[in-house]
Structure 1
Amino acid sequence: MRESQLFETTPGIKHVITVNAETFHKIRKDSRLKQIINNNLATIDGQIPLWLFKCKHKGTSITKIPGSQLIYSVSQWAAANNKKVFLLGGKEPSNALAVVKLREKYGVSIKGFSPAFENYPFKSETNLRILEQIKEFAPDVLFVGFGMGKQEYWIDDFKDELEHTGVKLVIGCGGSFEFASGIIKRAPVLFQKAGLEGIWRLVSEPKWFRVKRLFISFGIFYYFVQDILSPQ
């Protein structure tokens, strides 16, 4: 998908999935997530998935479009076109600060809401509160930062309700609010180009789940070789 496709006027609601290395592990065991990705628009989020995709599909013109990039370009576009943006999810401090910083940077009409952490599926009261917040603000663009998988299920489950409120574009963006808030710094460009963003994130936020996620992400090489060697 090209970034320009996001801003093209089309009927209905657009659901964009940012596919990172961890996604390739998840879709091996999760047929529903794979179907959601196949049925919607997808971008490549990560240098290593980009390299492997280009290696397998030689001659394909594709670029990396991570959620942490989209949150800026879409906010800028929204401000220029009198559109409203809503940030859903993430940690409460990062969500609130991302709203402030994006509003200050672009002058965009923006609001956010961060519900307390729950495993998915959420309680009905949680979903009702989320939808009420969105309906009240009536955004054109919705960023959902529940993490890969959970955010895709939620968007898919409530796509009709979101479209009914007037949302035209919804993007699953993982931890992008933490970057937009400045609480977590993005990896230096050198790290990004070398495909070492996961290691940078681990150093910035040294937690056990980051270690596990990093090992899971490295599994993309195994899946790549398996796909190459498997009969067509």
Structure 2
Amino acid sequence: METEEEFNIVTTVNAEFIVLANENVRFQKILNDNISTIDGQIPFFFLKLKYPNKKFEKLSGSDLIFYICEKASKSGQKVFLLGGLEISNETARQKLKKLYPGLLIEGYSPPFSPYPFSKELNEKILDILKRFSPDILFVAFGAPKQEYWIEDHKLFLKKIGVRLAIGVGGTFELVAGIEKRAPKFIQTLGLESLWRLYQNPKRFKRFVRNFKFFKYIFS
């Protein structure tokens, strides 16, 4: 991974993102204006079916973080984990350091707050980021909060040296092992969201809402 002058935003689009994008013009514009990968077997299958002449890449945030951290450890680039639960943020950092010796990584888990954040909280986040000056920033606030925050602060992030900012939802919990990734055969069948619901029943409303994906993908 070579350092580049431009600043890029990556979104990992799953069924929830597609529902949100169809119901929220701002979120849709963020997805359209930036780099997107497909996170989820079912969206990947139906997008290929609907747009046979377009190229899609299936790459989840929980896969992407390992790939990028491995490359960063070899190139000397600095990585920052922003968001997630405090325990998962810390545990994920320790796990990534162990997997990739020499990785320059820090993180911060701010207290949960609706977006936009208070001036005091936002200034604290920006100050921590400025002092570390990461090359790569993973933001785990959940969609669409994480994408709004990145978009609203892209000039600041570019100024302090961030070259790549990625919204990754619940990835830190998966990296930390607080939530378990679905077995490969469940991922292949497109049932990973059901697996995560089994682990965390609080996801039920989101799980049901995401069925709107089928309405929008064929509209």
Distance, in Å, in 2 between the alignment partners of 1:135 and 1:22 is: 32
1:100 alignment partner AA? Q
Q: Is 1:119 matched with 2:117?
A: no
Distance, in Å, in 2 between the alignment partners of 1:134 and 1:61 is: 35
Q: What RMSD, in angstroms, separates the aligned Cα atoms of the two structures?
A: 1.1
Q: Is 1:155 matched with 2:150?
A: yes
Distance, in Å, in 1 between the alignment partners of 2:176 and 2:152 is: 28
Structure 1 position 60, deviation (Å): 3.6
The structure 2 residue matched to 1:220, chosen from 206, 213, 219, is 213
Could you list the per-position Cα deviations for residues 26-82 of structure 1 after superposition, in whole angstroms to 9, with x for gaps in the alignment? Answer: 112210111111111111111111001100111444331110111100000100111
TM-score (norm 1): 0.91
Distance, in Å, in 1 between the alignment partners of 2:34 and 2:54 is: 19
Structure 1 position 11, deviation (Å): 3.3
SS at match of 1:144: strand
SS at match of 1:62: coil
Work out whether residues 61 and 171 of structure 2, in 8 Å CA contact, stay in contact via their aligned partners in 1. Answer: yes
Q: Is 1:187 matched with 2:186?
A: no
Gaps of 5+ in 2: none
Could you list the per-position Cα deviations for residues 151-201 of structure 1 after superposition, in whole angstroms to 9, with x for gaps in the alignment? Answer: 000000011111111001100000000011111110110111111111000
SS at match of 2:10: strand
Q: In the alignment, what sits opposite 1:196? A: 191
Gaps of 5+ in 1: 1-6, 227-232
Superposed structure 1 runs of 4+ greater than 3 Å apart: 7-11
The structure 2 residue matched to 1:37, chosen from 28, 31, 35, is 31
Distance, in Å, in 2 between the alignment partners of 1:48 and 1:76 is: 28
Q: In the alignment, what sits opposite 1:83? A: 77
Could you list the per-position Cα deviations for residues 86-108 of structure 1 after superposition, in whole angstroms to 9, with x for gaps in the alignment? Answer: 00000100001000000110121
Using the TM superposition, name which of 93-102 and 19-28 deviates more: 19-28
Once the two structures are superposed, the pairs formed by residues 28-67 of structure 1 within 5 Å of their partners are 28-67=22-61
Name the % identity. 46
SS at match of 1:53: helix
TM-score (norm 2): 0.96
Distance, in Å, in 1 between the alignment partners of 2:165 and 2:25 is: 21
